[in-house]
Structure 1
Amino acid sequence: MEVIPVTDKKTVDAFHKVPEKIYRNDSNWIPTLRMMIENTFNPERNVRFKTGDARRWLLKINEEYVGRIAAFYDENYSVSYDQPTGCCGFFECINDEAAAFQLFDTAKKWLKENGMEAMDGPVNFDENFFYWGLLSNGFKPQTFGMQYNPNYYKKLFEAYGFKTYYEQYSYALDITNPDLPGRFWKIAEWVSKKPGYSFEHFSFKNQDKYINDFIEIHKKAWGGHGNYKPIEYKLLKGLIKNAKIILDEEFMWYVYHNGKPIAFYMQILDLNQIIQKLKSGHLNFWRALKLMYYKKRKVITRCRVIVMGVIPAYQGKGIESGIFYHLKKVMQKKWWYNEMEMSWVGDFNPKMNALFKSFGATQTLTHNTMRYLFDREKVFVKAPIID
């Protein structure tokens, strides 16, 4: 059993081929875009390298690569907890405890050398709405950016000593469904026309304005949470640039009260519906052409809601339903979109979970963010509930 650092073109290529072995007979698996992963580990593309670092490894048994893992830390993330906490992710492994433990040990050793006292996983060295958490319920083809894994992974994590820090719930909702609660749409229409309130969607032309408005909303809406991590302008600017193919201006909405930003909503296109047809996450010239062809042919029928936030002073006033009132008109115009996934909401946020259920949304997926404390005598504490 040999652990090999990912340091050159040959090992990078091997890193991307490991999942092909793990999911060879799994029809639910959809490859992750290779470019997206490489951007994550590129210091020129990922601003988190300014306050952190990352490493990748492969596991070889009998001259065959059977597993992989990455470890990373970011000062903005690590200082948010009772102990400095790093992360591991991009974990793939055969169903073998010894192999999995070797990978976990490698990640733990490197994180300890960098001052960490715990590791969360499997997560991403990027925003938490992409590839975050361990799938534990809902083993089916995932929407773009959602983590998929074999069901035995949870047993491997738990056998090593990881515990669930929080659960993540995803919901399905069809806002064009006329059977949604009538009270919901009455409130939606009332809020959308209330004096002093305005609703407008994002535009690439004025993206600087909208990025700054999002930062203001994000700080006020999530700043009270104990694990709040500020979001940077450069990070958002980079995300928009790199993710333009999955964005639609009319799927990102802002709410203002007397000109001040108070709420934000964003959903992305499920590019996985095309990647599944390409059967590869490596976009060469011809696959890129096919991707654009399929997109124009309206193959994508599903969207994924990745973030929605309302600043505290305006929560409980039906602002969310007002957004859906405008979004419904967009969805009716773009009739080929007939599925919506709202993913994800942590179990530490009971208000948002209750809100989604009040819309008539149905829970469809569960992911788990796991935590491993290096000090095995330390008391494990789950993520605190947001009041």
Structure 2
Amino acid sequence: MSYTLHEVDSLARHRQFLAVPQRLHGHHPQYIGPLDNEIEVVFDPRKNPNLATGEAIRWVLLDAEGIAVGRVAAFLNREAVDVKNPDLPTGGLGFFEAPNDPVAARHLFDTGRAWLAARGMQAMDGPINFGERDRFWGALIDGFEWEPNYGMFWHPPYYQQLFEDYGFQVYFRQYTCARPVLTELHPSFAQRLAKFEADPRYRFDYGRKANPEKLAQDFHHVYNLAWGRHAGVKPMNLDQARALVREMKPVLDERLLAFAYCDDEPVAFFLSLPELNQIFKHVGRRLDLLGKVRFLWQQWRYGRRRDKKMLGIIYGVVPAHQGTGLDSALILDAQKRFISGGYTDIEMNWIGDFNPRMLVTTRSIGAKVRKTHATYRFLFDRDRPFERSPIIR
């Protein structure tokens, strides 16, 4: 098979880029594609702040008949590269899609590699997103029988071989863990909850959509203390937190926004969403006017079900309260609201193998790995020793 590669530099190429995943995977019953709108945001300088200091480029791969059968994007942010690893400037490769043909994959990988090398990069990570790690990150390498969660790609099994045969090595694995909501927790959870409920300084509550300012402030406070200092995670300012609450407000279920307070200071959270792909799979690729109408209808229908799936987005405890058992108490307190809301299954946002403490916490609530993605790294100097992502201590 012969292929030609074309930069996305026109409306026609843009449409081809967006249509590739559906053409390749639409016949698989587990496949749920991303919204076109959310892919477009990544490459829009008005909406992706990374483009203020970085570059991004896209290509589509056409077969001999002129049909788009593959795609890839490459991107770099020089400011982030220099801070992250000054001895190994690393660019990104993302939105990779290809047929089961190493020749096609090589076209895409070679092109991204050459573009990044010409800009001083010495390695490339992929498949990743030009933004935060919360979506479009990693290649699915296990759990193909499950539908993808919102913000994650479904890939066929051969993608792993395409990456690894080219020379990519696993930089870190990403585990999506799951459990039935009704899973009985260890008796120690109840003991810890009783301890904190008996202490008048502590209370457990949930976020209110009617008070978005407080929700944003509480989220911002816990997030920055619990996560803002971790490698690969940027601290968040209050305006960003407000914007996030504003953006997510239409899909929030208050019962899934669990907070713990000590002397009215927010000190822990466990925040989840209804699993949006269970709604979007009935909507289509575009969230235009018709798509929004379909979404509202499907959201209403989903909200009335008693067998809903939820997605655990983020969990955190401020350092001063870590190791006290507050996390266990919060989870047990929140479980009651999850059940009353009709949620029967929970999957957690992916946890990297570089975060063993979080994986231990996840196992402690009876969750098991359901899906595994991999973030790969390719070193341009093939004689350079490869190093995995550092472990969070």
Paired residue type of 2:168 = F
**Alignment pair present for 1:368 and 2:359:** no
Paired residue type of 2:325 = G
Among residues 13, 27, 36, which one is paired with 2:38 in the alignment?
A: 36
Matches within 5 A, 1:258-297: 258-278=263-283, 280-297=284-301
Q: Give the direction of change, closer, same or farther, for the CA distance of 1:205–1:164 in structure 2 (3 Å limit).
A: same
**SS of structure 1 residue aligned to 2:287:** coil
Q: Which residue of 2 aligns with 1:3?
A: 5
**Alignment pair present for 1:317 and 2:324:** yes
Q: Which residue of 2 aligns with 1:306?
A: 313
- Post-superposition Cα deviations, 1:7-31, rounded to whole Å, max 9, x if no partner, equal 2321111111111221143111011
Q: Which residue of 1 aligns with 2:76?
A: 73
Among residues 177, 182, 205, which one is paired with 1:176 in the alignment?
A: 182
**SS of structure 2 residue aligned to 1:11:** helix
Among residues 195, 199, 205, which one is paired with 2:200 in the alignment?
A: 195
Cα distance, 1:358 vs structure 2: 0.9
Q: Give the direction of change, closer, same or farther, for the CA distance of 1:56–1:324 in structure 2 (3 Å limit).
A: same
Q: Which residue of 2 aligns with 1:112?
A: 117
Among residues 40, 54, 77, which one is paired with 2:56 in the alignment?
A: 54
Q: TM-score, normalised by structure 2?
A: 0.90
Among residues 334, 345, 352, which one is paired with 1:339 in the alignment?
A: 345
Cα distance, 1:104 vs structure 2: 1.3
Matched-pair contact (CA < 8 Å) for 1:131–1:146: yes
Matched-pair contact (CA < 8 Å) for 2:33–2:285: yes
Matched-pair contact (CA < 8 Å) for 1:169–1:363: yes
The count of corresponding residues between Structure 1 and Structure 2 is 384
CA RMSD of aligned residues (A): 2.2
Deviates more, 1:78-87 or 1:91-100: 78-87
Q: TM-score, normalised by structure 1?
A: 0.91
**SS of structure 1 residue aligned to 2:12:** helix
Supply the distance in 2 between the matched residues of 1:112 and 1:188 (Cα, whole angstroms).
54
Matched-pair contact (CA < 8 Å) for 2:181–2:339: no
Supply the distance in 2 between the matched residues of 1:28 and 1:42 (Cα, whole angstroms).
29
Cα distance, 1:190 vs structure 2: 2.7
Q: Which residue of 1 aligns with 2:147?
A: 141
Supply the distance in 2 between the matched residues of 1:12 and 1:244 (Cα, whole angstroms).
30
Matches within 5 A, 1:86-165: 86-139=91-144, 140-165=146-171
Supply the distance in 1 between the matched residues of 2:242 and 2:93 (Cα, whole angstroms).
25
Cα distance, 1:223 vs structure 2: 4.7
Cα distance, 1:75 vs structure 2: 4.2
Cα distance, 1:352 vs structure 2: 0.9
Matched-pair contact (CA < 8 Å) for 2:212–2:246: no
Cα distance, 1:151 vs structure 2: 0.7
Paired residue type of 2:340 = K
Supply the distance in 1 between the matched residues of 2:22 and 2:181 (Cα, whole angstroms).
36
Among residues 318, 323, 328, which one is paired with 2:335 in the alignment?
A: 328
